[in-house]
Amino acid sequence: MGDSSEPEVMDSQNNDEGDDCLLTQKDSQFSQLLNCRSVEEEELEKKKYAALHPMDRGLNQIALYTEFFGFGRRPDYTHFCDFHELASGEGMRLLSSVSSKHCYIRRDFLEGRTYLHDTSRFGTFVNEALIGKGNCCMLQSGDLISVGHPKFFVFMYVEGCTKGKDYPPSLTERYFVSNYLIGEGAMGKVFLGKRRADTSVSVAVKVIAKKGLSITSQNSSESGLGSSTELIRREVDIMLSIKHVNCVQLEYVCESAKMAYIVMEYIEGGELFSRIIDERNMGKGLGEQLTKFYAWQMLSAVKFLHKRNIVHRDIKPENVLLLKRDVYTVLKLSDFGLSKAGEKTMETFCGTQCYMAPELWVDEPRYRCEVDIWALGAVLFTSISGYPPFANDYKDMPLREQIAKGRLVYYSVWKNISTRAQRLIRKMLRVDVLQRVVAAEAMRDVWFDDPIVEKAKEMVHSYAQIHAIPLANVDCEQ
């Protein structure tokens, strides 16, 4: 037995050595495979001329390195993006407007240019501009591509060698900034951007020139508003102090020698103004119920600001934004460039004339937070009826006199508006500042005793919880 045990031990040792040898071979093969893959990836990275960054959560980032790249519903291309991945949410609703071969990207490697070809009757768009079936468009780094609908963004085209040549590294290291212009205000242009760390999150990037900033027709320092740098700092300071569901939230701030950049949450639903004048409303505005849904949210924001001695000073439909494109959605007050905090009475002349309170029209204006209530009353009037309470178009009386007298023009659309709504708006548009209703009182008005307001409260409450906004700042229990 003793003799026979040695070969068994030796066999066992030999087997171990064989296994070790086999494992070593496998490790070597695996390492070679990894190295090959690494080399391939490096080669592809060298060939990559651009990337497509997703604008929808159902899509993934795409590296572009081939001459052709197609898009559609199961498109017949060697390299392609299948939009069936969008079969959820808004993507599902728009999938019927996406062709099997919707569009394709072509790279001209000799010229170093990229073209997007539209092959669908449903439409392919770059920065909301239609290309048109059979046509093509040269892409620039930062362009937004949408399909089926101008605002259904699917990808941002970003060239590999570009990190935003006109933007400081402190901005481009954190964000992609597109060429798509969201809006333009008193203090600069606003572009759509994306977080680099999470490209599913969109942001709005306000680009402000420190010099040449003009708030009124007069020089800003002469008008009492301060220097351009002070104006930028004022907006940033105010936005940093605001944490309310119905106010646009600040995310990041940086600057260069000549420019300042304010990164805010992106509000994709557009301006209240655009909804009021939408041709589907046939010039009759949003009506009473929808206006009430929005009015409660606007008053909640204004009440919050006034409680902190912040006066917006430029409330108008263009500065009221809607979070989503849905009819009933969270509302956001924006553009705090003319706002001022900490002073009970102010003496500068600013704001948009049609929404400016009577006390702003005197030679030496001294005013308080009541100017926001007046402006908000004018916004509600416009939203309900489809036309403004005061305008230069009313030729029987100059605009300044219309406002000074509080003269309101009622057309036939008001026959369908409740007495309660008309009474509250008149309270907000009282010429006598002492008689004008304040935000907290307006929110307690019987006009808001309505299920539609409960719907607004529920939506605001839900948004506050998701975005960690203190419920104490929200009037959901009002």
- Would you list which residues are annotated within the binding site for ATP? 211
Alpha carbon of 155 to those of 63, 145, 281: distances in Å?
12, 5, 32
CB contact set of 333 (below 8 Å; sequence gap of 6+): 246, 247, 248, 298, 301, 302, 305, 312, 315, 319, 320, 321
How deeply is 30 buried, as exposed, middle or buried, from its count of CB atoms within 10 A (0-12, 13-18, 19+)? Answer: exposed
Q: DSSP assignment of 416-477, as one string?
A: GS-HHHHHHHHHHT-SSGGGSPPHHHHHTSGGG-SHHHHHHHHHHHHHHHHTT--GGGS-TT
Which residues fall in the annotated binding site? 211
| DSSP line for 161-193 | T-S-TTS-HHHHTTEEEEEEEEEEETTEEEEEE
Using alpha carbons, select from 309, 195, 187, 291 the residue that is nearest to residue 252. 195
Q: Of 56, 143, 314, 335, which is the active-site residue?
A: 314
Q: 3-class SS at 156?
A: strand
3-state SS, residue 235: helix
Q: What is the DSSP letter of 402?
A: H
Task: Report the distance separating Cα 163 and Cα 193, nearest Å.
Answer: 12
Report how far residue 124's alpha carbon sits from residue 52's, in angstroms, rounded to the nearest whole number.
Answer: 15
Burial of 196 (0-12, 13-18, 19+ CB in 10 A): middle
Distance CA 228, CA 337 (A): 10
198 is catalytic: no
| Site of tokens 């030999």 | 14
- For the record, the structure tokens of 93 come out as 């609703």
Q: What distance in Å separates the CA atoms of residue 406 and residue 445, rounded to the nearest whole number? A: 21
Q: Catalytic residue numbers?
A: 314
